[in-house]
Structure 1
Amino acid sequence: MEVIVKSLISALFVGALGLVIYVQYNGLKEAQGRIKDAEQATRDRDGTIKTLKAAADRDKKATAKLQGERNSIAATLTERENLIDNLQHENATIRSWADAPLPDAIARLRERPAATGAAAYAERLPSGDALPAAGSSPQD
């Protein structure tokens, strides 16, 4: 009887050990799967970061280029304004032309505020018949 008990205990021990090994093996497989998923997520994140850095570099270069163009335009504008001022001071004909009042139609254009969007532009339009959409026939 003692042999049977020892055999049963040994069998239970081997079974429990097998169960522990099986659970550990499945846990290891799941952990390896999570590791692969995490590695893929890291690669995807690194790719996104690389793409965003490249886009930021392009934007920075474009901004620098636009700033250079803006500075060049500002310098040209200053030059031309100075030239116009000099011409007005030196030439009586240009000075009298510059001092003359603007025609009424042009003066009215200068009185209107700038349209800051489609809604502001639409508010200033007369409320008559709207133009037909392109390609549609006019309604009678």
Structure 2
Amino acid sequence: MELIAKSLISVLGIGALCLVIYVQRDSLTAAKERAEAAEKITRDRDGTIKTLTDAAARNKKAAAKLQAARDNIAATLTERENLLESLQYHDPTIRTWADTALPDTIARLREHPTVIGADAYSQRLPSNHALPVASSGAHD
């Protein structure tokens, strides 16, 4: 009887051990799946970060290029303004022409109230000179 009890205890012990191993294997499998999912999320985030970093670098280069072009345009404008001032100062013919008053019709083109917003601008436009409706077809 004692042998049967020992055998039964051994079988139960082995069964319990198998149950623990089975549960541990399931836990290990679940942990491995979570780790793989986390690695995939990390790779995706790394890819997104790289894409955004590359886009930011391109934007920074484009902004620097635009700023350089703007600076070049500003320098050219200043150079031309200085040239015009110099010509007006040194050439009496140009000075006389520059000092001549503009005709009234031309001067009125430069006079307009301050426009703030699209509504104020559209109110300034004459209503009897509407623009033609845009069409996608060829002109008749």
Pair 1:83–1:33, CA change in 2 (3 A): same
SS in 1 for 2:107: helix
Q: d(CA) in 2 for partners of 1:44 and 1:73?
A: 43
Q: d(CA) in 1 for partners of 2:114 and 2:58?
A: 33
Within the alignment, does 1:20 sit opposite 2:20 as a pair?
yes
Task: Could you tell me which runs of 5 or more consecutive residues in structure 1 were left unpaired when the two chains were aligned.
Answer: none
- TM-score, structure 1 length as denominator? 0.76
How many residues are treated as equivalent by the alignment? 136
Task: Could you tell me which runs of 5 or more consecutive residues in structure 2 were left unpaired when the two chains were aligned.
Answer: none
Report the identity percentage.
64
Q: d(CA) in 1 for partners of 2:78 and 2:19?
A: 86
Pair 1:124–1:17, CA change in 2 (3 A): farther
* Root mean square deviation of aligned Cα: 2.8
Q: d(CA) in 2 for partners of 1:114 and 1:62?
A: 34
Q: d(CA) in 2 for partners of 1:113 and 1:9?
A: 103
> Match of 2:69, as an amino acid?
E
SS in 1 for 2:28: helix
Matches for 1:25-104 after TM superposition, within 5 Å? 25-104=25-104
Give 1:77 shift. 0.8
Give 1:2 shift. 3.2
81-90 or 98-107, larger mean C-alpha shift: 98-107
Pair 1:26–1:124, CA change in 2 (3 A): farther
56-65 or 120-129, larger mean C-alpha shift: 120-129
Give 1:18 shift. 1.4
- TM-score, structure 2 length as denominator? 0.76
